[in-house]
Structure 1
Amino acid sequence: MPKRSYVSSVRADAAAEKRSRVVEAATQLLREEHSITAFSLEAVAKAAGVTRLTVYNQFGSRQGLLEAVFDDIARRGRIMRLGEAWAAPDPRLGLDLLAEIFCEFWSSDPAIGRLQDAMLVDPDIAQALGERLGRGRQIIGALVGRLAEGRATAAQQRDTADLIFGLTGFAMFRLLAPGRSAEAVCLLVKTACGDAIRRMLPNAS
């Protein structure tokens, strides 16, 4: 019995190592290619030195592989720190922190750009990755609601939260990034988010 357990453990470790190798190969391919159309299970399998069937068995589909790549980048890019923004005692500081977290994440890996491109051309991928980013929108809505405290209508709060979500998104980061450091982009985004709050609460201090 112990021998079987040992064999199972070895196999599990080997499978985990192979999965990690495939994810890294997929991420590197996304970094190097200029178009998402070049990304395929066959191309990733070749880069990882495994068979296409191995990749398929691990991830099920191109979408499943892209989701795994996104989750790995999200972990390394510390996107899970969004919970810190939600828990901030001061919602204004929470929004500033949220902008910083997103800017750090968007700048953490060039592969993110290809993943965003995949969302534009594949509705299933857009839904899967959009659900992962949806938590950020929820946190923004909660922080805006705490700031409003009955001083803005529900429609004004929704408009403000949507605007801030757009300002802190990848499309805005990509637009502002050329010729600017990630820190400079973040400062612009935080300033614009502050302007959005002042538009919602023009008489607030």
Structure 2
Amino acid sequence: MSPRSYRMGQRQAEVDETRARIVAAARAQLADTGALSLDAVARRADVARATVYYQFGSKTGLLEAVCDALAAQGGMARLAEAFTPADPWAAVDRFVEVMGGFWAVDPLCTRRLRALAALDEEVGRVVADRDARRREGAAVLAARLPAAPADAARLLFVLTAFETYDGLARAADGDLLGAVPVIGRLVRAALGGTAG
């Protein structure tokens, strides 16, 4: 390996580490304050504000990176598995399970992010774009269900929302993953399936 290749690899590792530190700072800032100030994130990450802009381009870019980090940690890559079972109810069950795992990654950060979306248009767009993807997935799965009600896609979308998992978890022991079986039963009852 040439010295230049080594330096380039080392530089990339430093860039990746800085990027990860900024995303972690943004998550912590959201969880602690319910707000997202690029100045505050830069201070928390111990970088210049210009570094945040260089890495992410804008507040929206940083928000996207935060959502991507939550998705990666929450196993959203496994969501594709929900669309492969031949049995449509097994597919729906998998969708409910994967969404539960995702929502359980950092409930406080997610709660604050979604609350901020109602107050900040930029945050609202990022959250709405992510929700639109879940809505599309719910529509695909609902269309496969035999004798499902006409509003099956909307019901599946609402029942797999963070707020549904969070509300059920808060009413019980606070464990979002513990809400998965309950939501699975709700989904089957609402969409015409039998208890799973």
Same fold (TM over 0.5): yes
1:125 — aligned with what? 123
Are 1:188 and 2:163 matched, yes or no?
A: no
Shift of 1:136: 2.4
Q: Hey, what's the Cα distance between the residues in 1 that align with 2:24 and 2:130?
A: 20
CA contact (8 A) 1:27 1:69 kept: yes
1:66 — aligned with what? 63
CA contact (8 A) 1:70 1:115 kept: no
Distance 1:81 1:133, change over 3 A: farther
Q: Hey, what's the Cα distance between the residues in 2 that align with 1:123 and 1:86?
A: 32
Matched position secondary structure for 2:170: coil
Q: How many residues align?
A: 191
Query: What is the CA deviation profile of residues 41-99 of structure 1, one whole-angstrom value per residue up to 9, with x for unaligned ones?
Result: 11111111111111111112222111111100110010221111111221111111111
Q: TM-score, normalised by structure 1?
A: 0.83
Q: 2:158 aligns with which of 166, 169, 185?
A: 166
1:75 — aligned with what? 72
Shift of 1:132: 2.9
Distance 1:30 1:124, change over 3 A: closer
CA contact (8 A) 2:63 2:126 kept: no
Residue 25 of structure 2 aligns with an amino acid whose one-letter code is A
Query: Residues 1-205 of structure 1 correspond to what in structure 2 (within 5 A)?
Result: 2-33=2-33, 35-36=34-35, 39-109=36-106, 110-148=108-146, 151=147, 156-157=149-150, 159-180=151-172, 181-198=175-192
Q: Hey, what's the Cα distance between the residues in 2 that align with 1:135 and 1:183?
A: 21
Matched position secondary structure for 2:86: coil
Q: Hey, what's the Cα distance between the residues in 2 that align with 1:128 and 1:29?
A: 17
Shift of 1:194: 0.8
Matched position secondary structure for 2:145: helix
Shift of 1:183: 4.0
Distance 1:5 1:184, change over 3 A: closer
Residue 140 of structure 2 aligns with an amino acid whose one-letter code is A
Output the aligned Cα RMSD. Answer: 2.3
Aligned sequence identity (%) = 35
Greater mean deviation of Cα atoms: 161-170 or 96-105: 96-105
Matched position secondary structure for 1:177: helix
Shift of 1:141: 1.4
Report which structure shows greater RCO (CA 8 Å, sep ≥6). Answer: 1
4+ residue stretches of structure 1 with deviation over 6 A? none
CA contact (8 A) 1:103 1:182 kept: yes
Residue 27 of structure 2 aligns with an amino acid whose one-letter code is T
Q: Hey, what's the Cα distance between the residues in 2 that align with 1:130 and 1:53?
A: 27
